[in-house]
Amino acid sequence: MKESKSSELWLKCLLGAFGTLAACALLYIFHIPNADDILLTLVVPIAFFGGFTAGVPSGLVVILYAVFAFSEPNQPLHYTQTSTVKVLVVASCTAVLVILLGILKMHCERIRENLLKSEKEVETLKVQDPLTGLPNRSALERVLHQESDAAAHTEFPLSFALIDLDYFKQYNNANGRTAGDNCLKRVAEAINKEIQGAGFFAARFGGEEFAVVMPNTDTGEAQALCRKIKDSIEALQIPHSGSAASSVVTVSIGIATAAPKRRVVENSFVCEADKALSCAKDNGRNRVEIYSESSAPAAKS
């Protein structure tokens, strides 16, 4: 990135210096009337498009041209008092113009950087859940669509898990929404920690539900990961007096897996995981269930 900016700066310097030199040469060769006025009002502003750093070479060319143009005919570097004043005026105006344009360029770059930063923040907010910091459901749907397309053309399965906090409404009623928000943040951190480095994607599905997309993962591997997630959340030891499943906060998890080269319809895939999650809740919560065609759990943990 730095090398690219450096190359761009050198290019601006060369173009600015070359353009100014060419303009000065044309003014001298063709004896354009009022060449000095044209030099100050036209050539200098055009040549300094690059700001302070890129404008310095062009400024030096202008000053050297003035030193030559205002000297006595056939006597280079010899001046009358009037010519000396002209050279000083050109040199001073050129230096001031370079500095002013440099400052303007700097402010423009700063404004541009702030705009880019704001745009990135807006884009981030569009795909990020503000409470937990995990991607939101919109981002999840996009990733699930991409991964389902990829799975349809590969020899690898795709697994999807829905994670629901057990008796979370009762937790909020007993402890308040602030405690509930903190609980969601800690659960999100635990989920994210378990999937780090595995190439999986975790998101907040909505409310107290989370989801994990697991590419290249079969049922057994998905079940093993979800057990780790469940145990990790239980190990947080967040007290939950309103839970009938445990004295601490726990989760129920439903898993759906698409076989290799199976075309996945995202909504159906989510529904399958949701049915497995319902089985987990019906069977006492704080457990992992896997979707099966008969809607009965194929495995329990």
User: pLDDT tens digit string along 158-182?
Assistant: 999 999 999 999 999 999 999 999 9
Q: What is the pLDDT of residue 297?
A: 45
The predicted pLDDT at position 226 comes to 96
- Report how far residue 97's alpha carbon sits from residue 95's, in angstroms, rounded to the nearest whole number: 5
Hey, which residues does 248 pair with through a beta bridge?
A: 239
Domain presence at residue 300: no
Residues 151 and 94 in one domain: no
CATH no. for residue 277?
3.30.70.270
Burial bucket for residue 75 (CB in 10 Å: 0-12, 13-18, 19+): exposed
What does the mean pLDDT of the chain come to?
83
Q: Which has the minimum average pLDDT: 34-38, 79-83, 246-250?
A: 34-38
Query: What residue numbers bound the domain in which 273 lies?
Result: 137-290
Annotated catalytic sites, by residue? 208
250 and 106 in one domain? no
Mean pLDDT of 198-222: 94
In the structure, what pLDDT confidence band is assigned to residue 262 with cuts at 50, 70 and 90? Answer: low
Residue 175 within any structural domain of the chain: yes
Please indicate, yes or no, if residue 118 is contained in any of the structural domains. yes
With respect to residue 298, please indicate whether it lies within any of the assigned structural domains.
no
Examine the domain organization and report whether 164 and 286 are in the same domain.
Answer: yes
Final residue belonging to a domain, choices 84, 103, 125: 125
Q: Are residues 252 and 164 in the same domain?
A: yes
Number of domains composing the chain: 2
Show which of 125, 145, 179 is a domain's final residue.
125
pLDDT at 293: 64
| Three-state secondary-structure class, residue 249 | coil
How far apart (Å, rounded) are the C-alpha atoms in residues 53 and 101? 10
Residue 86 and residue 158 in one domain: no
Measure the CA–CA gap between 249 and 194, rounded to whole angstroms. 17
> Quick one: what percent of the chain has pLDDT higher than 70?
82
What is the average pLDDT across 198-207? 92
CA distance 37 to 40: 5
Q: Is 180 among the domain residues? A: yes
pTM (two decimals) = 0.62
Position 301 scores a pLDDT of: 54
Q: What mean pLDDT do residues 143-166 have?
A: 89
User: Residue 247: what pLDDT?
Assistant: 95
pLDDT per residue as tens digits for the range 226-243: 999 999 999 999 999 999
pLDDT of residue 165: 97
Are 75 and 147 within one domain? no
Band of residue 193 on the pLDDT scale cut at 50, 70, 90: very high
For the cut 60, the answer to whether the pLDDT of residue 225 exceeds it is yes
For residue 296, tell me if it sits in a domain. no
Summarize the confidence of residues 247-265 as an average pLDDT.
86
Domain finish residue from 67, 95, 125: 125
- 114 and 142 assigned to the same domain: no
* Closest alpha carbon to 56 in 113, 5, 99, 8: 99
- Higher pLDDT pick, 161 / 1: 161
Residue 299 in any domain: the answer is no
51 found inside a domain: yes
Residues 283 and 159 in one domain: yes
Assign 120 a pLDDT band (cuts: 50, 70, 90). Answer: confident
Same domain, 178 and 79: no
Q: What is residue 92's predicted lDDT score, i.e. its pLDDT?
A: 83
Is residue 86 very low, low, confident or very high in pLDDT (cuts 50, 70, 90)? confident
Percentage of the chain modeled with pLDDT above 90: 42
DSSP H helices in the chain: 2-29, 35-38, 44-47, 51-69, 81-127, 137-151, 168-175, 177-195, 219-234, 266-282
From the list 79, 46, 75, 78, the residue with the least C-alpha distance to 61 is 46
Please tell me whether residues 273 and 162 are part of one structural domain. Answer: yes
pLDDT confidence of 43, banded at 50, 70, 90?
low
Same domain, 105 and 163: no
Same domain? For 236 and 106 the reply is no
Cβ distance 39 to 90 under 8 Å?
Answer: yes
